A and B are shown apart, each in its own frame.
Chain A
Amino acid sequence: MKVRQRLKANAVLLGITVLIVSFILSVSLYRINKATNSAKIAGDIVLKSFERVTFRNDYFRNNNERAKIQWFAKNEEIGRILKAASEYFQSSEDKKTIDELLNNYESLTKIFASMVENRDKKKETKDDAVISEEVEDRLLSQLDIKAYQQVLYARKLLESSRHASNSILWQTGAGIFCSFLVLLTAVTINSWTMGRAITERIRKLRDGASLIGGGDLDHRIDLKGEDEFVELSHDFNTMAANLKTSYYDLEREIKERKQAEMDVLKLSEDMAARNVELESLNKELEAFIYSVSHDLRSPLRTMSAFVSFLSEEYAERLDEQANDYLRRINQSSAKMSKLIEDLLNLSRLSRQEINRTEVDLSAQAASIFSGYRVASSGRNVEISIKEGAVAATDPALMEIVLSNLIGNAWKFTSKTRDARIEFGTLEKDGQTVYYVRDNGAGFDAEYAATMFQPFHRFHSGDEFEGTGIGLSIVERIIRRLGGKVWAEGETGKGATIYFTLG
């Protein structure tokens, strides 16, 4: 049986007991009321019997007609009460007493009537008078005895009523006591068995929970019956089964993650090795470039010297065609020399140490612009420099950066009327962004991302001379300084190169 049903059973038992007790009280009240009425009737008989004796005495003492009439009236009243009394007294003993009362009542009535008749009778002779006197004497004694007996019988009824009342009270008390005793017993047994069952079941649940909690996910709690604990044990078992599934899933996931971590670690190690390898390769490449550039510079210089010698010493002996060839060789040598110089500078950047100090970039830019103005005095370029652009950075490297950027701007505005070049700063995401802007030839924005690669050129050498190394040098220096560099522009509308410093 379920715990809830057991508790309900207790409540039902209590309800039934209350009903029974109410019923007992109702019946008792009804019976006590009846017994009280019975006692009242018995008391009335006693009282009225005494009243009747008073009338009798009055009649015999004074031969009073009024007393005689009242005696009969009172006697009749007693008779009515006696006849009604049988409805209130139900026990055989009481009924017998009432029968005796009725017999007694009839005797009394007859005796008194005989006495009245005896008194009213004419006494013609002396013997008549003697007999009359003796009759009255005889009957008066009997009347006394009967009257006394009537009171005795009535008193017996009164005692019976009182006894009945007491008996009812006892029965009521006993009934209520027994009802509560039965209730108490039933509730105690029910509660005791319930408590025992609950304790046993909780123990099994606790043991089961301990085992499951201890890791034995295959353990199942075995409870028999149909109560809530059995339902709880089913839930426990389901939970254990689900826990087991989750555990295995988790275990698999952990394995997978560990494997993934191992893979990532291995990949990182591979990448580090690769980086080391790449760095080594890069160094080898830079060393190679440096070595090649350095080694090429000497024969190129020799070759350029001999070309210059030829042009100066044998120009008159050579025809125009040959001189043109020599001039072109000389120009190519100069270009090649510049290219080698740039390559050497580029390769040096990787090895050059960074010495940070406070650098007035505005002053550096102004100095560079001043150099270009002197070199190209015929050009009219509007220069704008933001004052006070100061940064903690390497002054030599920044000199290279600004020279390249301002040089490019100067170069790509060479064919622009009303050329304008600006060095400025702006704030973006809490960081100072520096820029060099011009309104020169510009570039195709689609290729903005590739413009910092070495040897990348938007314009032919005929249009604007150059090696295509300058922006690569800028990008490498900015990257080494911990900053970023990017470009915006549009073909024919100028370009802006932005950079930040780390």
Chain B
Amino acid sequence: MLRHLLGSMPVAISALLLVTCLFACTQTDQKSAGPAEIVTIANLVPPFTVLVDVAHLQGYYGQEGLAVTMQKYQYGKVALDALLEGRADFAAVAGTPIMLAIMKGEKIAVISTIQTSTKNCAIIARQDKGIYTPQDLKGRKIAATFGTFSEFFMDSFLVVHGISKNDVKVSNLKPDDMSAALINGDVDAVSTWVPALNGMQKNLADRGITFYDEDIYTQSVSIVAKQEYIRDNPGKVRKLLRALIKAEEFSKKNLDEAQKIVAEFNRMDPGMLKEMWAGNTFSVTLDQSLLLALEDESRWAIKHGLTRTTKIPNYLDFIYLDGLSGVKPEAVRILR
């Protein structure tokens, strides 16, 4: 019996080796067969898209067979513009620009949310001009970047504090112009986000006051692409998602290392990045919150006449579930 078993041993080992080789070959074909596929990503400054940076810095795109060209943008609206104008294949964009683009009729789709936070947005005001409480904003000049979540946050903030839009003077400013306008006194307050917010707080020091409200808005950044592109390149979508998932896992297991390489890559103060990082959740997901947020913002946009259409679209048509379902099904929490 023993001799029989020992006799069968080489056959069993050979079979095991064969299966292992076949499996390894299959895996290799799946990941890196052929030349790397070129992809351009319209990316944002930290902390919104640290996963995109980590995937790039850790070489996960290359491992998945992608040759990624990274474009850096200050905010999502301009990144989305790059996508829509064909300068990028994928863009990292917050909810508000996505909602406005879809309401406008752009055929784009979200492939995954990669970041959420309730602490990235705030209204910073001139305390030295007598603004101490949210109610003191009444009658003041407040700037926001229209078409971005800073506008939506500002509006929500004012509303929940009983301030009508008619009670304030709202102006549109690009993020880069806000700090100077606030310091110069062109505006009394601005609605903005990190890291520009941190810079303004530093510049104003005691002269400024920051109003946060974590309960009225959950900011998120998602990766979007044109629907046509997604339809033509589902493999690239999956590869990109796999690389981002690897980046997520790496960041969870090696938080300090991830923060360090992202800070170096973006030439940021590591301490400031660490502080901002703590207020964010970086996870590759597609859940119902995205739908709720988009619909909420859609109602807001319709109410304030920010879009021609008065009908909230079915956002299920603008979310590409198959990509993430094929890579990490448990991360998809949207029923269709």
Contact = CB atoms under 8 A, between A and B. Distances in A.
Interface of A: 93, 100, 103, 107, 110-111, 114, 127, 130-131, 134-135, 137-139, 141-142, 144-146, 148-149, 152, 159
Contact of A131 (B164, B287, B292): B164
A111 B218 CA distance: 13
Nearest to A109: B215
A142 B216 contact: yes
B104 interface: no
Contacts of B299: 137, 141
Given A100-B281, A145-B218, A145-B289, A135 B160 contact: yes
Contact of B215 (A107, A134, A137): A107
B311 to A, nearest CB: 17
Interface string B147-182: 000000000100110111010000000000000000
B118 interface: yes
A394 to B, nearest CB: 92
B129 interface: no
* Most chain B beta-carbon contacts within 10 A, residue among A114, A130, A138, A146: A138
B31 interface: no
B288 interface: yes
Contacts of B217: 142
B106 interface: no
Given A103-B214, A107-B118, A145-B218, A138 B156 contact: yes
A110 B216 CA distance: 10
A139 B118 contact: no
Instruction: Bin chain B's interface residue count.
Output: 20 to 34
Contacts of A137: 299
Nearest to B255: A92
9 contacts: A107-B215, A131-B159, A134-B303, A135-B160, A138-B156, A142-B218, A144-B296, A148-B288, A148-B289
Contacts of A130: 164
Closest 3 CB pairs between A and B?
A: A141-B296, A107-B215, A145-B292
Interface string B200-232: 000000000000001111100000000000000
B252 interface: yes
B87 to A, nearest CB: 32
Nearest to A143: B215
A159 B329 CA distance: 14
Interface of B: 118, 156, 159-160, 162-164, 166, 214-218, 252, 281, 287-289, 292-293, 295-296, 299-300, 303, 330, 333
Overall SS of chain A's interface: helix
Given A107-B118, A138-B156, A149 B289 contact: yes
A159 B333 CA distance: 13
Contacts of B300: 138
Contacts of A145: 218, 289, 292-293, 296
Given A134-B159, A148-B288, 11 more contacts: A93-B252, A107-B118, A114-B160, A131-B163, A138-B159, A138-B216, A138-B300, A141-B292, A145-B292, A149-B289, A159-B330
A325 to B, nearest CB: 129
B292 A144 contact: yes
A28 to B, nearest CB: 25
A95 to B, nearest CB: 13
Contacts of A110: 215
Nearest to A115: B160
> Counting chain A CB atoms within 10 Å of each CB, which of B163, B281, B288 scores highest?
B288
B162 A135 contact: yes
B164 A139 contact: no
A103 B287 CA distance: 19
A92 to B, nearest CB: 9
A152 B287 contact: yes
A56 to B, nearest CB: 15
A93 to B, nearest CB: 7
Nearest to A107: B215
Nearest to A127: B164
A142 B162 contact: no
B95 to A, nearest CB: 11
Contacts of B330: 159
Contacts of A127: 164, 166
Contacts of B289: 145, 148-149, 152
B163 to A, nearest CB: 8
A148 B166 CA distance: 33
Contacts of A146: 215, 218
Contacts of A149: 218, 289
A138 B299 CA distance: 9
A152 B287 CA distance: 9
A131 B164 CA distance: 7
A127 B164 CA distance: 8
Given A93-B252, A131-B164, A142 B215 contact: yes
Contacts of A152: 287-289, 333
Contacts of B214: 103, 107
A280 to B, nearest CB: 90
A110 B330 CA distance: 31
A134 B300 CA distance: 9
A148 B215 contact: no
Given A114-B160, A152-B333, A139 B293 contact: no
A131 B162 contact: yes
A103 B333 CA distance: 21
B85 to A, nearest CB: 31
Given A107-B118, A145-B289, A152-B289, A138 B160 contact: yes
A460 to B, nearest CB: 112
Contact of A139 (B160, B281, B288): B160
